[in-house]
Structure 1
């Protein structure tokens, strides 16, 4: 997995969109990797969401308040 692009999220100050490229052979490792980022994930039809405003969710990366992982385009 590698970072392919970082851009400011125009709607909210100090927020950024980070785009990751995930090798097809690593796709099955995405769920286990998520447990290293946050304690609780909401599974969406096209990805995953973790937020420190969700009940019982703890994000382990300092200053990261929400992550929305979209699978595909």
Structure 2
């Protein structure tokens, strides 16, 4: 099954989007949108960015990770 977006009420008012993977796991939670229309526009923008977006690694090397780290060719 493909992933999907859920439109939910934000705790502070307005709306948020949850992105769920095909297995139902939450992958991402959006910023707060003031209206449903703005949230729908956020879905469109997310789809556009995700299709071609690059990864910017802003993490530190101090994070513990059980998986081996792939070499980052952008570091000197």
TM, length-normalised to structure 2: 0.25
Which has more strand, going by share of residues? 1
> Normalising to structure 1: TM-score of the pair?
0.26
Decide which structure has greater helix share.
2
